[in-house]
Structure 1
Amino acid sequence: MTQDVFDLPSPPANSIVGHLLDLGQDPLAFLTACRDYGDIVPLRLGLTPVCVVTNPDYIEAVLKDRENFIKSRGFRVLKTLLGEGLLTAEGDTWFHQRRLAQPVFHQKRISGYGEIMVEYTNRMLQNWQDGEVHDIHADMMRLTLEIVMKCIFNTDVNAGEAKVVADALDITMHWFESKRRQNFLVWEWFPRPENVRYRQAIAEMDAAIYQLINERRKNNTETHDLLFMLMNAEDEETHERMNDKQLRDEVATLMLAGHETTANTLSWTWMLLSQHPEVREKLQAELEQVLQGKLPTVEDLRRLTYTQQIIKESMRLYPPVSLLGREVAHDTKIGEYEVPQGTTMMISQWVMHRHPKYFEQPEAFQPERWTEELEKQLPRGVYIPFGDGPRICIGKGFAQMEAALLLATIAQKFQIDVVPGFSIVPQPSITLRPEYGIKVTLQQIAQQLSSPEPEKQVLPQ
């Protein structure tokens, strides 16, 4: 016998706005508290019916079914920025784009970008000085943007173009967060100052992207970067290729997803390592044993076990995306519950990754927990830093490789300590970023073995 999902227990609500104020004031704490009410918790955000899902089987069911559960209204707002890219497209459009893009992100292909990641990181470190105070989040954002633009365009994008893209993405994050707090009640086309800045930033970013695409079309040279592979990706059935608009949408998506999430993961990792010196010491021991002062390579990753455990544990406590939503496209069932069309299903990685039912001492930073046994025991739908189902992040392999290589490269040369008393506030926007950055002090690590300056790398042919 089925039951109406909105008959289930839920937190106390305001008679006018429902749970909107609670969610807006502290979304992570509120969603965590919802976990105590059951596997599915009905909420009301203004006029929007919502269900928070905390049962991993139900989460898996929602993420597997892309026909009945489409991207939520909040994410659809991103179409202004990302168009019909893989993150926002639905239905046949998404399926067509995914089929074209999938071979581009084959592990063997993306492994070739490891040299670029290490080279650009080492280049950044040449400008770091012992004792300097940095915003490590800003540094990671700058570095990962340079890397992803090099991997997309196979060129050192000039400072002006990089700044245009960086500003557009930063404005987008702040715009999206302000709209989330208003439950997207203020339309983006309304001529408020923040809406004007948002649309102007996108226009400037579009101009930079289209210029790079046009230059590539004119030169028609074989470069084997991501743009070249996307331009030449051909549908096996229709033999169609992406037009300039489709390329622009995928490039914008890659720039957002390809640098923001890794930068945030590394920023939280530096914070956690600063708070846990015993973990940092164990990391240093592994790097010294495996690398012996050399710069890391993709081939080294299989032996950098603890390094990768640190990344997994960092993404558990501070997932790249803390909340995702799916809208019910048709009346449907989840388990034994009837869920009406138009309901938003909320799935919080923050909540699931810290669930005491699945993780011992869930608030503790313990990289050692990531054994093969744990990963086999965890139900699908519990640890989902890259999502799951057919829409799992296509750049998962790229991001995991980049985070581990950058961590190993930097941690060999510098100890990074958070400035005492600096307030670090997680901001659950499109991604989970530190709202005010993370101020740190750099300490150069002494007695490291010298390694030769790497030759300038080129993309694999």
Structure 2
Amino acid sequence: MVVHLPPQAAPARVRAAPPGPPLWAGPALFRQLVSDRLGMLSGAVSRYGDAVRLTIGPKSLYLFNHPDHAKHVLADNNAGYRKGLGLAEARRVLGDGLLTSHGQVWRDQRRSIQPLFQNKRLAGQDTAVAEETGRLVARLRAHAGRGPVDVAHEMTALTLGVLGRTLLEADLGAYESIGHAFEGVQDQAMFEMVTLGAVPLWLPLPLHLRFRRSRRELHRIADALIAHRIEHPTGGDDLLSRLIASAGQAPGERAARDRLRAELITVLLAGHETTASTLSWAFHLIDRHPGVRERLREEAVSVLGDRPPTVADLPRLTYTTMVLEEVMRLYPPVWALTRVAVTGDEVGGYRVPAGADVLISPYTLHRHPGWWREPERFDPERFAPEARSDRPRYAYIPFGAGPRFCVGSHLGMMEAVFVLASVARELRLTGLPGRPAVPEAMLSLRVRGGLPMTVSLL
């Protein structure tokens, strides 16, 4: 039976700082930050509770792991925080895009693109999503009996195809280097985060050189997409056209170019990375649970028959949706929501000083034993309609929360449901013996080194 913790009442006395490892543990924490970020966070909340201060060198990281904490930081007092670790370092290439900007800049950006994600418009995109899903299934089918295929790579190709068609009205298949370029950017962002920016970028380290190549490649791709749209306007209300129009309001040609690049590169990253990661983890977990795989196939055959999925099928693909929700519980696409306190605050009875780094981790929150029975076990039944009512809203935040809730969540879920149902209906993906799927906590929670699987026809 799940032990439900009561909402935390305001304490009579505000304590100065949460408990945490002693200062002399800093070197060990630093090694974990470099090599095992998820283990570091999980170990901290397991030992010290729902509020922990982790001190590493000159920095103290305030980790909060209660639904009330998440609600306060991400929603109730969201204006008291701005984006923090990881995304701050990613600003080198993302600039002030939607992921990294804050204040009025962020509000203007969000207002500009919000209409493109309204349910009515997304409903008209189901044909494009279904067609890209059909191409994915055909590619996987061609691998049947021919050795392993990297499912993570295929999911990236799929999500870029969907992104190009549904939001940008562009063919992103011509830019095969996008995935590798974003890997270089994420590696650099994580390196700068764990080294606290102490290693100068001008040093000719292999990582730095790769980052520079990746940044140049992303700039090249963004500039090419922008130039093509300017030369060949669609006359439609696509996201790329909106970004071009919005950037034209920036003062000066250079500022307009930089802003447009930043916003487009952010869309390219956020629009494919999280859904690709979720689908990769989904196929890994489905392979390990044959009963789930069979039930997925039964539902897909019953609801879809032999036709492509449509938006009208989503309410009937209930078990498929439950599976995806449980995948995102165990492996949330964004494993850490980092913030910096703009002014002093109080969270969970502890004082948070201005300028402090604050972290809400969906990865640890989704495995909190107070809200989830056997939290390490994969069980889609947790998300059956009758099982949801007694769970706090902020115990499950795979798309973030508050005003910065993921704007593309509905498109991502439609895409993932279509893919899972279509693949389960026709194919079986099997992991390689002795090749475990290891989570890699970058800007998203991806599978380290890819996900090779063999394909069998059903």
TM-score of the two chains, using structure 2 as the length reference:
0.89
Matches within 5 A, 1:283-362: 283-362=296-375
Note if 1:444 corresponds to 2:454: no
Task: Check whether the contact 1:104–1:229 (CA below 8 A) recurs between aligned residues.
Answer: no
1:251 to partner: Cα distance: 1.8
Listed as ranges, the gaps of 5+ residues in structure 1 are: 236-241, 446-461
Corresponding residue number in structure 1 for 2:9: none
Note if 1:58 corresponds to 2:69: yes
Corresponding residue number in structure 2 for 1:156: 171
The superposition leaves residues 222-265 of structure 1 with CA deviations (integer Å, 9 ceiling, x where unpaired) of 14433234445799xxxxxx955433322211111111111110
CA, structure 1 residues 90+202, in 2 after alignment: closer, same or farther (shift >3 Å)?
Answer: same
Q: Which moved more, 1:289-298 or 1:143-152?
A: 143-152
Matches within 5 A, 1:82-93: 82-93=94-105
Corresponding pairs, count: 436
Note if 1:19 corresponds to 2:33: no
Secondary structure of 1:102's aligned partner: helix
1:53 to partner: Cα distance: 0.2
Secondary structure of 1:42's aligned partner: strand
Quote the Cα distance in structure 1 between the aligned partners of 2:143 and 2:216: 37
Choose the corresponding residue for 1:131, options 145, 170, 175: 145
Quote the Cα distance in structure 1 between the aligned partners of 2:192 and 2:409: 28
TM-score of the two chains, using structure 1 as the length reference:
0.89
Quote the Cα distance in structure 1 between the aligned partners of 2:26 and 2:302: 61
Task: Check whether the contact 1:18–1:46 (CA below 8 A) recurs between aligned residues.
Answer: no
Identity level (%): 35
- CA-based RMSD of the aligned residues comes to 2.2
1:57 to partner: Cα distance: 0.6
1:165 to partner: Cα distance: 2.1
Note if 1:70 corresponds to 2:82: yes
Note if 1:374 corresponds to 2:382: no
Quote the Cα distance in structure 1 between the aligned partners of 2:26 and 2:13: 29
AA aligned to 1:391 is R
Note if 1:272 corresponds to 2:285: yes
Listed as ranges, the gaps of 5+ residues in structure 2 are: 1-11, 249-254
Task: Check whether the contact 1:152–1:225 (CA below 8 A) recurs between aligned residues.
Answer: yes
Quote the Cα distance in structure 2 between the aligned partners of 1:52 and 1:60: 14
Quote the Cα distance in structure 1 between the aligned partners of 2:33 and 2:224: 41
Note if 1:257 corresponds to 2:270: yes
Choose the corresponding residue for 1:197, options 210, 219, 224: 210
1:112 to partner: Cα distance: 2.3
Task: Check whether the contact 1:27–1:428 (CA below 8 A) recurs between aligned residues.
Answer: yes
Corresponding residue number in structure 1 for 2:260: 247
1:294 to partner: Cα distance: 1.3
AA aligned to 1:104 is L
CA, structure 1 residues 260+157, in 2 after alignment: closer, same or farther (shift >3 Å)?
Answer: closer
Deviating runs (4+, > 6 A) in structure 1?
none
1:307 to partner: Cα distance: 0.6
Task: Check whether the contact 1:45–1:183 (CA below 8 A) recurs between aligned residues.
Answer: no
The superposition leaves residues 205-227 of structure 1 with CA deviations (integer Å, 9 ceiling, x where unpaired) of 21221222122223333144332
Corresponding residue number in structure 2 for 1:452: none
Note if 1:140 corresponds to 2:155: yes
AA aligned to 1:31 is L
Task: Check whether the contact 1:18–1:43 (CA below 8 A) recurs between aligned residues.
Answer: no
Secondary structure of 1:262's aligned partner: helix
Quote the Cα distance in structure 1 between the aligned partners of 2:149 and 2:306: 24
Quote the Cα distance in structure 1 between the aligned partners of 2:388 and 2:201: 42
Secondary structure of 1:163's aligned partner: coil
Matches within 5 A, 1:31-46: 31-36=41-46, 37-46=48-57
The superposition leaves residues 414-445 of structure 1 with CA deviations (integer Å, 9 ceiling, x where unpaired) of 11111111122110111101112111110011
Secondary structure of 1:41's aligned partner: strand
Corresponding residue number in structure 1 for 2:429: 416
Quote the Cα distance in structure 2 between the aligned partners of 1:298 and 1:361: 34
Task: Check whether the contact 2:86–2:190 (CA below 8 A) recurs between aligned residues.
Answer: no
Quote the Cα distance in structure 2 between the aligned partners of 1:408 and 1:229: 33
Task: Check whether the contact 1:213–1:244 (CA below 8 A) recurs between aligned residues.
Answer: no
Choose the corresponding residue for 2:396, options 369, 375, 383: 383
Quote the Cα distance in structure 1 between the aligned partners of 2:60 and 2:315: 46
AA aligned to 1:140 is M
Secondary structure of 2:267's aligned partner: helix
1:376 to partner: Cα distance: 3.1
Secondary structure of 2:307's aligned partner: coil
Quote the Cα distance in structure 1 between the aligned partners of 2:348 and 2:19: 16
Note if 1:9 corresponds to 2:19: yes
Q: Which moved more, 1:17-26 or 1:114-123?
A: 17-26
